[in-house]
Amino acid sequence: MERAVATIDRAALVHNLARVWDLAPAREVFAAVKADGYGHGAGVVATALAEAGCDGFAVSSLDEALQLRWAGITRPIMTLSQPLTADVLAAMGEHGITPVIFERAHLAALADYRGPELAAWLKLDSGMHRLGFPAYEARALTADIKAMTQVRLAGCMTHLGCADDPRDPLTHHQLACFDEALTGLDMPRSIANSAGVIAWPASHADRLRPGIMLYGSSPMTDRTSADLDLAPVMHLSAPLISRRDLGAGEPIGYGATWLTPEPMPIGVIGIGYGDGYPRHAPSGTPVAIGDAIVPLVGRVSMDMITVDLRAAPHAAIGDRATLWGRGLPVDDVAQAAGTIAYELFCRLTPRVRFDVL
Ligand SMILES: Cc1ncc(COP(=O)(O)O)c(C=O)c1O
The CATH number of residue 148's host domain is 3.20.20.10
Residues 98/77, Cβ–Cβ less than 8 Å: yes
Do 208 and 335 lie in one domain? The reply is: no
Q: Residue 352 domain-assigned?
A: yes
Q: Is 34 a catalytic residue?
A: yes
- Say which of 113, 215, 254, 342 is annotated catalytic: 254
Q: Residue 5 domain-assigned?
A: no
Give the domain CATH number at 247: 2.40.37.10
Report the candidate in 99, 101, 81 with the shortest Cα–Cα distance to residue 91. Answer: 99
Three-state DSSP class for residue 243: strand
Q: Residue 88 domain-assigned?
A: yes
Do 326 and 291 lie in one domain? The reply is: yes
258: enclosing H helix or E strand: strand 258-259
Number of domains into which the chain is organized: 2
Q: Residue 211 domain-assigned?
A: yes
- The residue type of 103 is E
∠ CA(141), CA(146), CA(147), 5° rounding?
100
Q: Among 162, 181, 215, which residue terminates a domain?
A: 215
Do 196 and 72 lie in one domain? The reply is: yes
Q: Residue 228 domain-assigned?
A: no
Do 89 and 179 lie in one domain? The reply is: yes
- Confidence (pLDDT) at 178: 97
Do 32 and 127 lie in one domain? The reply is: yes
Do 46 and 142 lie in one domain? The reply is: yes
- Confidence (pLDDT) at 1: 67
Do 182 and 276 lie in one domain? The reply is: no
193 Cβ inside 6 Å of ligand 1: yes
Report the candidate in 203, 309, 308, 186 with the shortest Cα–Cα distance to residue 259. Answer: 308
Do 238 and 202 lie in one domain? The reply is: no
304 appears as a binding residue in the annotation: no
Strand partners, 320: 239
80 Cβ inside 6 Å of ligand 1: yes
Do 309 and 170 lie in one domain? The reply is: no
Q: Which domain holds residue 317?
A: 234-356
39 Cβ inside 6 Å of ligand 1: no
Taken in order 217, 223, 224, 230, the sign of the CA dihedral is negative
157 appears as a binding residue in the annotation: no
Instruction: Tell me, in angstroms, the distance from the centre of ligand 1 to residue 33's CA.
Output: 9
- Confidence (pLDDT) at 202: 97
Q: Is 38 a catalytic residue?
A: no
Residues 6+ apart with CB under 8 A from 210: 20, 29, 31, 32, 192, 193, 194, 197
Do 189 and 306 lie in one domain? The reply is: no
Q: Among 182, 215, 248, which residue terminates a domain?
A: 215
Q: How far apart are CA 32 and CA 38, in angstroms?
A: 8
- Confidence (pLDDT) at 2: 79
Q: Residue 308 domain-assigned?
A: yes
220 Cβ inside 6 Å of ligand 1: no
Do 55 and 143 lie in one domain? The reply is: yes
- Say which of 34, 38, 113, 123 is annotated catalytic: 34
Q: How far apart are CA 336 and CA 323, in angstroms?
A: 12
Do 172 and 99 lie in one domain? The reply is: yes
pLDDT tens, N- to C-terminus, the chain (357 residues): 679 999 999 999 999 999 999 999 999 999 999 999 999 999 999 999 999 999 999 999 999 999 999 999 999 999 999 999 999 999 999 999 999 999 999 999 999 999 999 999 999 999 999 999 999 999 999 999 999 999 999 999 999 999 999 999 999 999 999 999 999 999 999 999 999 999 999 999 999 999 999 999 999 999 999 999 999 999 999 999 999 999 999 999 999 999 999 999 999 999 999 999 999 999 999 999 999 999 999 999 999 999 999 999 999 999 999 999 999 999 999 999 999 999 999 999 999 999 999
∠ CA(27), CA(33), CA(39), 5° rounding?
145
Q: How far apart are CA 354 and CA 234, in angstroms?
A: 9
Q: Residue 222 domain-assigned?
A: no
Q: Residue 270 domain-assigned?
A: yes
Q: Among 215, 247, 271, which residue terminates a domain?
A: 215
Instruction: Tell me, in angstroms, the distance from the centre of ligand 1 to residue 208's CA.
Output: 10
